[in-house]
């Protein structure tokens, strides 16, 4: 921890990776981290900012992921987004992007918005992916409270060109600096039921009217603005180079949400 706890460094070396996890679990909300990534040759290194409840629901967990994948070239990183709902890990929903900036020179914001209407992934306030909560995806839409986690770890087996380039520890330690942590959402707390086992219950409730500042139900968070839609279109046309919905080699029959209107 640095700067009186307002920032932190997470480090990967030959003996261990590292990470931070939120004290609370959240059900819907707005979650942000500003990250500055390691420079030099980072093949096989994975920096992840994500939400998960695999510790509570090991067989039907939910997950919403930003994964930054190191590269065999200096300062090049690939951004991957993914999500699982109700243990649907057999279907990867990855999308991959080339970044339009050097993530090793300064901090950049990575943001997850998750509510009943949609999941939005944003980079420096630019939407790069929207998952609309519709009938086609409802069975695998993340639906249970999750922790917020930031980690750095060795993904040599898959992260860089399918494992072709493993981590080169001659360039260790790999240091990611993080700040600007913002966690706004419904907090779930542990309570005991009559059987002495714990359940998760919300500390916030549905509001009778929407507020533009409410990331759970606020009308400003129900759909993207015209400006955000333009940014989403730009990011996907110019910078996305892989989507599972276009991977007909991997999926003989595409997941149903790929064909949804």
Catalytic residues: 63, 67
Q: What share of the chain is helix, strand, coil (3-state, %, to 5)?
A: 15, 40, 45
Displacement of CA 27 from its chain's centroid (Å): 15
Q: In whole angstroms, how far apart are CA 225 and each of 182, 243, 255?
A: 22, 23, 27
∠ Cα 127 131 132 (to 5°): 115
Structure-token pair, residue 217: 């139900």
Q: How many C-beta atoms surround the C-beta of residue 154 within 10 A?
A: 18
Could you give the C-alpha distances from 139 to 81, 108, 146, in angstroms and in order?
19, 33, 17
């Amino acid at each position: 921890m640095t700067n009186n706890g307002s920032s932190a460094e997470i480090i990967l070396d030959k003996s261990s990776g590292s990470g931070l996890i939120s004290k609370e679990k959240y059900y819907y909300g707005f979650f942000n981290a500003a990250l500055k990534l390691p420079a030099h040759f980072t093949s096989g290194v994975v920096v992840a900012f994500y939400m998960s409840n695999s510790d509570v629901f090991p067989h039907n967990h939910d997950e919403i992921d930003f994964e930054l994948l190191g590269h065999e070239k200096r300062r090049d990183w690939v951004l991957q987004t993914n999500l699982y709902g109700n243990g649907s890990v057999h279907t990867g929903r990855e999308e991959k992007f080339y970044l339009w900036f050097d993530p090793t020179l300064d901090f950049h914001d990575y943001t997850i918005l998750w509510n009943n209407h949609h999941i939005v992934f944003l980079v420096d306030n630019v939407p790069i992916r929207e998952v609309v909560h519709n009938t086609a995806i409802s069975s695998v839409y993340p639906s249970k409270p999750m922790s917020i986690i930031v980690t750095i770890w060795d993904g040599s087996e898959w992260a860089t060109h399918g494992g072709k380039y493993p981590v080169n520890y001659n360039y260790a330690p790999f240091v990611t600096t993080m700040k600007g942590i913002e966690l706004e959402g419904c907090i779930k707390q542990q309570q005991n039921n009559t059987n002495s086992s714990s359940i998760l219950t919300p500390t916030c409730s549905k509001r009778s009217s929407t507020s533009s500042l409410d990331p759970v139900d606020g009308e400003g968070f129900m759909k993207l603005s015209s400006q955000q839609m333009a940014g989403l279109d730009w990011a996907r046309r110019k910078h996305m180079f892989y989507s599972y919905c276009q991977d007909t080699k991997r999926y003989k029959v595409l997941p149903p949400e790929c064909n949804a209107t």
